[in-house]
Amino acid sequence: MQQIGVIGGGTMGAGIAEVCAKAGSDVVIVEVKQEFADAARARVEKSLAKAVSRNKLAQDDADAALGRLRVTTDYADLADRELVIEAAPEIEELKREIFANLEEATGANTILATNTSSIPIIKVATATKTPERVVGVHFFNPVPVMPLVEIISTLTTAPETADAVSAYVTDTLGKTAVRAGDRSGFIVNALLIPYLCQAIRMFDSGYASAEDIDLAMKGGCGYPMGPLTLLDTIGLDVTLSAAESLYAEFAEPHYAPPALLRRMVDAGRLGRKTGRGFYTY
């Protein structure tokens, strides 16, 4: 597979497009407006420039990767894609609409993947008439740096669909793939989200400061970021939708979104991307 499509050019979509283009694939990002498509390209350019400045990538390779990237607002540009990875906002109805459009826009053999954090994959697969070619491919933020990708098969995913995507992720992108069943949160978020929610409850109860909670988990457990810094990085809105999906799936109290998380999302304090979350940027 070398012809890749990415739906959505936000943090995750741009990161996925970047790693695919760096690995030699031809990549098309589809956005809803030209302005967003241009912003997606700018995101990839910025990250490639950072990789060059950190001596992770030669300037020529960054230029070549950018040369393999196109941005568009037209689904018709996906007609020749072998794999399309959807990285749109975490709204089930929106994703179902995208998958119905993708089925029309792509060839019968195109693999359709979703990067959803926690919506069960079958919910988007059933928006198509060919759910055997739909699979979950979950990357981690920041995509160019984090080595893991979760591959999620639904009850209807064809084994060859999951195998082909897994081979692309490991052999072409050089990432580590793990397989998980189609349960909300898969492996990582099912473990990570309750931990992050618990950190919010601890902060909200006032018995430790944000700085001390973060310092404690960095210094005490060797985590690269404390939980509240990580929440600001992931985005509080993304975390809230992940917690809501997990709670809807398992109805266990530790998955329930804390009230403070909801209030911060209501207030538009979404973390780094809006300049304010648990910290101010």
List the catalytic residues: 117, 138, 150, 189
Taking the complex as a whole, how short is the minimal distance between the CB of residue 257 and ligand 3HC, in angstroms?
A: 14
Helices 188-205, 259-266: crossing angle, 10 deg rounding: 90
Secondary structure tally for the chain: helices H, strands E: 11, 8
Q: Which of 25, 110, 117, 153 binds ligand 3HC (CB under 6 A)?
A: 117
* Strand (E) or helix (H) holding 28: strand 26-30
Q: Mark the segment that binds ligand 3HC (CB under 6 A) among 76-84, 123-131, 138-146, 261-269.
A: 138-146
Q: Check: CB of residue 88 under 8 Å from CB of residue 110.
A: no
* Minimum CB distance to ligand 3HC smaller for 29 or for 105: 29
Taking the complex as a whole, how short is the minimal distance between the CB of residue 199 and ligand 3HC, in angstroms?
A: 13
Is 230 near ligand 3HC (CB under 6 A)?
yes
* Minimum CB distance to ligand 3HC smaller for 228 or for 242: 242
Taking the complex as a whole, how short is the minimal distance between the CB of residue 231 and ligand 3HC, in angstroms?
A: 10
* Minimum CB distance to ligand 3HC smaller for 191 or for 259: 191
Chain positions 17 to 56 lying near ligand 3HC, rule: CB under 6 A, are: 47, 50-51, 54, 56
Is 243 near ligand 3HC (CB under 6 A)?
no
Which residues partner with 71 through β-bridges?
29
Query: How is the beta sheet containing 176-181 ordered, strand by strand?
Result: 69-72, 26-30, 3-7, 83-86, 111-114, 134-139, 148-153, 176-181
* Strand (E) or helix (H) holding 87: none
Is 14 near ligand 3HC (CB under 6 A)?
no
Q: How far apart are the first and last CA of the chain?
A: 40
**3-state class (DSSP) for residue 180:** strand
What are the residues binding ligand 3HC (CB under 6 A)? 47, 50-51, 54, 56, 117, 140-142, 144-146, 189, 192, 224-225, 230, 234, 238, 242
